Every structure is written in C-alpha cells, then in structure tokens.
Amino acid sequence: MTVTDLPVLVVGGGLTGLAAGALLSRHGLPVRVVDRRPQLSRHPRARGLHPGAMEVMRVLGLEETIRSTPSAVALAHNDTVITTTSLAGRELASLRAPYFMGGRRELGGLSPTGWCQCHQAEVEPILRGRARELGARVDHGIEMTDFHQDGERVVVTLKSVDDGAEETLSVGHLIAADGARSGVRERLGIPFDGTGPFGRFANIHFRADLTAPLGDRRFIMAYVFNERVRGGLMPLDNAENWLLHLIVDPDDGEELPSAEQCRAFVRAAAGIPDLAVEILGVAPWEASARIAGRFREGRVLLAGDAAHVMPPTGSFGANTGILEMHNLAWKLAAVHAGQASEALLDTYEAERRPAAAATVEQAVLRNRDRRRLADAPESAPDQRIVPDPVVWFGACYGPGEGSWAARPDGRPGTRAPHVPWPAPDPETRSAPGPRSAGGSVLDLFGLRFVLLTGTGPAATGWHAAAGRLPVDVHRLPDAAACAAYGIATDGAVLVRPDGYVAWRSRTAVPDPVTAVEQALAAVLRP
C-alpha cells in the first residue's frame, strides 16, 4: 500500500472524465483519471458532439482530429429524423430544422464550429490521448473502493481489478464522473430525483449492407414501427455500420435479446427478411430523467451522468458533462494555485445545475415529441421545445439562472459572443491568435481571463491592466464586434477562461485598472 498526494482525482473515464483530465492538465494541474473497465469501450454508445462541446474540443486542439474520424466524415451531412415502417418500407414523417443543424452548417453566427456526428468509441481514444499528452495520468482497470473526506482532503482507496493491489491517495478534490449508478453519489447520500425508467432498451451494434434500402437519404435517426420491431435505426457510416436502439418489453423476462433474436430484429427494421447481419455487440440501457440534489459535497464534485441522466433525444447527455468540466477545470486550477478561494467552487453547482436541469427537461420534451411522428405526424410540436442552438449555447448563470438566451449579447453571466477574429492582436502578451482561417474571438479563451476592449482612442486605458493584472487584453476588431458585446467603442468586457462573460463596462471609467481588479476579486473570491 502506498500513500501519495494529488490535487485532483477523477473517478470515471468516459467522455466527461477524460475531458476533465485534459482540461485540468491544460491548466497545469496534476490530475489522475481512473476507470474500473480494463479498456475503453468499443461500443459506439453516444453519438454526436454539439457545437458547444466542439468549442471545448477546439480549445483542446482536437476539433479537426475529431472531424476526421470515420463516423464524422461519413455522417457530416446527415440532418433529419424520419419515421418509417422499415428502412425499405413506407416513410411516414420527418423532422428537419429548427430541430437539427448539422456538420459545419451555418449557425447564424453563433459559433466558429458546428455539430459533429461522431460516435463515442472513436472520440474517447482521442480525448484520452490528448489528456496524456498534456500530463494527465489515465489508468484503466482501477476502481475506487473507499473514500472519506475532511475539510482539507479526500482520502481515497484504489484497487487494481486485475490483481487486487491497493493504494491510498490523499487528494485535494475528487470529481465523480462514474456514471448514472454513481457509487460516489450514493455513498454521499445525495438524492437523484426525477422520473423513470420510462423505457428499457437494447443497443444493438451490427454490420449489414443497407446501402440499397437507404438510397440517397441521410438521416440522423429512423424511428421504425412495425408489428415485429419498435426502435431507432442509426447509421454510423451510411452503409454497413449501424446501431439499432431496440425497445425492450419489460415483461419479456430477458435482460438482453440473443444474437439470433437481434438478427431478426435488425431484419425487421431493415425490411429485408434474408438480410445478412453480423452482430458486433449488445448493451442494455434505460431512459430516465434525473438530476442530483447537489453537485458538490465538500471536496467531492459530481459531473456527467453521475450528476444527471436524460433521454438520448437531442444528444445532450455527454455534451452537458463536457461543458461542466469546462466550467469546473479553471476554477479548480485557480483554487489550487491560490488565486481563488474555495468558495469559487460553490459557483459550479450554482451555474451548472440549473443548466443541467433545463437540458434534462428539453431532452424529455423531445423524447415525448418523437411519438408524435408515429401517432400524429401532421400535428404541431410541443411549444416548450426550444431550438437546439439555444440549448447548445443559451444556458446562463447569475440572475435568471437556468433560463435560455437565444443569442449571446455580452451580458455578464452569458456565453461570450462569437465574432470573427481576423488576425493576432499585436498588443497581446501571451494569448494566441486564431487557430486557423475562419478564426473566432472565442479562440482567445481557455487559460486566463481575457479583457476585450473597444476600438476607440478612449479605450487605451484598459490596456494598462495587461501589465498589472493576471489578464490578457485584446482590442475588438471593429464597431460591429463592440456592438455584439454590448459596449461602446471605449468600453470593455472581462471574459472568464471558460468563455463566459464575468463583467462588463459599457463605457470608459476613470480608473480602469482598479475596475478590472475589483471585477476579478468578485469572481475569484465570491
């Protein structure tokens, strides 16, 4: 048994946990990620990173790598949901925009990136590799068997699944990203309230040549309803690699269908009785809508499925976890560097729990609305459903938290607006310019606070903050960019490392350095 000290331990090595490892390491904070599975899952599971999560991948330098994965390349133009009797049968209805905005399609100026339909089994190795490159330790086959905390640390016992060897860690903070059945959450007695399960499913990964019945259609999901099968057919390459989300009868007594039963279900969904089918894997799952009563208990913080579960409709689940890590990573780094008080970590729950609750609600509404396609395809959608881009970008913190903002406008508590960033700012001390053609002001955020100033001569006073405070200072490129942030040409906006507006002065002030210093103090020591 060994005892070691570590700033942060992450339990759970899925998308949320790996994002935590990569983002914390990028901030220079030593971190270890452990997962009881001996290796990453090869099952596709979640499919799709929405633009908000892709902005985080952009921060990590992974956007183009992820867009180059086989599934992302193949599915770049898939953007509808249909209902049909079978793939070869009669199409009943379809859903298009404003539900979906795919690939690099224009997002109304909201983001420099876009939706990427790539499945989890391809993204996780990329994210793990980046986490390790940045310095994180990622270990598989390691489970946490015990932990207890006091006001100064969390003492954790880890055990090797392979040989039973144990070690003890003394960690500053523990991030529980250990899934919907989180042992950490249960151990802490945190309630996990909501509804469900309201559906049991078998996720069937299979290989079969469906190019002929598919034709030139390019959908995200085909809901199939006939007398032999009810479920969702999802392409992974628009050819031979597919998923079938099969609705399982809760009274059939079987946890999972056999391989032969799976082949029969696939043939019924395809509408081809003699289809050659290879079953690659089967995984059970339940559709529920739950959220943890708290996201923080002392030095333990919940994230991802450990903090909330939701129906997969909209592909919001893993994406929400990634955004939580983007919120939390810089805060943990600031606390451990002595730049912020421990109270800063209270803002993680205050900001992200309302956003998660609103997202769970939207996933449930979409899940219920899908039934309309089969029962009453000509009827109007639920009016409580907001367009996907609003969910991706609109959750706010601060006043009105949990509400949706249709378009970021520079208000404190909202996501910083995207505006094109044509060239590196010569006045920059350390922050990078745009990563590529088609760059964005969002590319400046990630490691430090950023002060964006107006374009007029009276805005020069703000730039004195660059030498006296821990901020990077940039001049916005033009008056239109100033207007997007809601400031005059002599104003300024302070943006947090996670790209949310912390403070704004619409016009110049007598002592700009003191004003920025006070704004920083209000954020870091609430």
Q: How confident is the model at residue 440 (pLDDT cuts 50, 70, 90)?
A: very high
3-class SS at 256?
coil
pLDDT of residue 426: 42
Per-residue pLDDT, averaged over 264-281, amounts to 96
pLDDT of residue 383: 73
* Residue 117 shares a structural domain with residue 158: yes
Tell me the pLDDT of the chain averaged across its residues: 88
Distance between CA atoms of residues 265 and 246, nearest Å = 8
Distance between CA atoms of residues 263 and 244, nearest Å = 11
Full residue range of the structural domain in which residue 497 is found: 408-524
In our burial notation (b when 16+ CB lie closer than 10 A, e otherwise), range 400-415 reads: ebbebbeebebbbbbb
* Residue 377 shares a structural domain with residue 481: no
Residue 195 has pLDDT above 50, yes or no: yes
In our burial notation (b when 16+ CB lie closer than 10 A, e otherwise), range 327-350 reads: bbbbbbbbbbeeebeeebbebbbe
* Residue 351 shares a structural domain with residue 412: no
Contact by Cβ (8 Å): 421, 433: yes
Residue 428 has pLDDT above 50, yes or no: no
Q: 336: which 2 tokens?
A: 């451990």
CA distances from 234 to 216, 246, 256, 270 (A): 15, 11, 19, 11
Maximum separation of any 2 CA atoms in the chain, in Å: 79
pLDDT tens per residue across span 99-123: 444 434 456 678 888 889 898 899 9
pLDDT of residue 45: 74
Q: Which residues pair with 240 in a beta bridge?
A: none
* Residue 252 shares a structural domain with residue 378: no
CATH number at residue 226: 3.30.9.10
Q: Tell me, what DSSP letter sits at residue 415?
A: B
* Residue 133 shares a structural domain with residue 21: yes
pLDDT of residue 436: 40
* Residue 327 shares a structural domain with residue 472: no
Residue 432 has pLDDT above 60, yes or no: no
Within 13 A of 235's CA, how many CA atoms are on the CB side?
30
Contact by Cβ (8 Å): 43, 208: no
In our burial notation (b when 16+ CB lie closer than 10 A, e otherwise), range 452-462 reads: bbbbbeebebb
Dihedral sign, CA of 127, 104, 367, 374?
negative
Residue 446 domain-assigned? yes
Residue 101 domain-assigned? no
pLDDT of residue 73: 94
CATH number at residue 165: 3.50.50.60
Phi, psi (rounded to 5 degrees) for 196 = 115, 175
* Residue that finishes a domain, picked among 331, 356, 390: 390
More confident of the two residues 499 and 406: 499
pLDDT of residue 435: 39
Per-residue pLDDT, averaged over 326-353, amounts to 96
Per-residue pLDDT, averaged over 132-159, amounts to 96
- In the block, residue with structure tokens 């109270």: 343
pLDDT of residue 434: 34
Q: Within 10 Å of residue 215's Cβ, how many Cβ atoms?
A: 10
* Residue 423 shares a structural domain with residue 340: no
Dihedral sign, CA of 115, 116, 121, 126?
negative
Residue 88 domain-assigned? no
* Residue that finishes a domain, picked among 286, 319, 345: 286
CA distances from 442 to 55, 278, 311 (A): 8, 44, 30
* Residue 301 shares a structural domain with residue 276: no
More confident of the two residues 128 and 431: 128
Q: How confident is the model at residue 94 (pLDDT cuts 50, 70, 90)?
A: confident
More confident of the two residues 331 and 201: 331
* Residue 161 shares a structural domain with residue 255: no
Please report, rounded to a whole number, the percentage of residues in the chain having pLDDT higher than 90: 66
3-class SS at 317?
helix
Q: How confident is the model at residue 465 (pLDDT cuts 50, 70, 90)?
A: confident
* Residue 177 shares a structural domain with residue 158: yes
pLDDT of residue 427: 44
Residue 85 domain-assigned? no
**DSSP one-letter string for 104-149:** T---TTS-SS--EEEEHHHHHHHHHHHHHHTT-EEEESEEEEEEEE
Rounded (5°) CA angle 451-457-463: 30
Q: How confident is the model at residue 264 (pLDDT cuts 50, 70, 90)?
A: very high
* Residue that finishes a domain, picked among 358, 390, 422: 390
Residue 132 has pLDDT above 60, yes or no: yes
Residue 9 has pLDDT above 60, yes or no: yes
Q: According to the 3-state scheme, what is the secondary structure of 27-88? A: CCCCEEEEECCCCCCCCCCCEEECHHHHHHHHHCCCHHHHHCCHHHHHCCCCCCEEEECCCC
Query: Which of 280, 272, 360, 209 lies closest to 43 in space, CA to CA?
Result: 280
* Residue 306 shares a structural domain with residue 279: no
Residue 450 has pLDDT above 60, yes or no: yes
pLDDT of residue 77: 87
Residue 86 domain-assigned? no
Query: Which of 468, 467, 517, 522 lies closest to 492 in space, CA to CA?
Result: 517
CATH number at residue 445: 3.40.30.120
pLDDT of residue 131: 98
Per-residue pLDDT, averaged over 78-93, amounts to 90
Q: Within 10 Å of residue 431's Cβ, how many Cβ atoms?
A: 18
Q: 27: which 2 tokens?
A: 């901030």
In our burial notation (b when 16+ CB lie closer than 10 A, e otherwise), range 49-69 reads: bbbbbbbbbbbbebbebbbeb
Residue 60 domain-assigned? yes
Please report, rounded to a whole number, the percentage of residues in the chain having pLDDT higher than 70: 88
125-134, 309-318, 396-405, 496-505: range with lowest mean pLDDT:
396-405
Distance between CA atoms of residues 521 and 526, nearest Å = 8
Residue 234 domain-assigned? yes
Omega before residue 197 within 30° of 0, cis:
yes
Total domains, the chain: 3
Helix and strand totals (H; E) in the chain: 14, 24
Residue 507 domain-assigned? yes
* Residue 275 shares a structural domain with residue 297: no
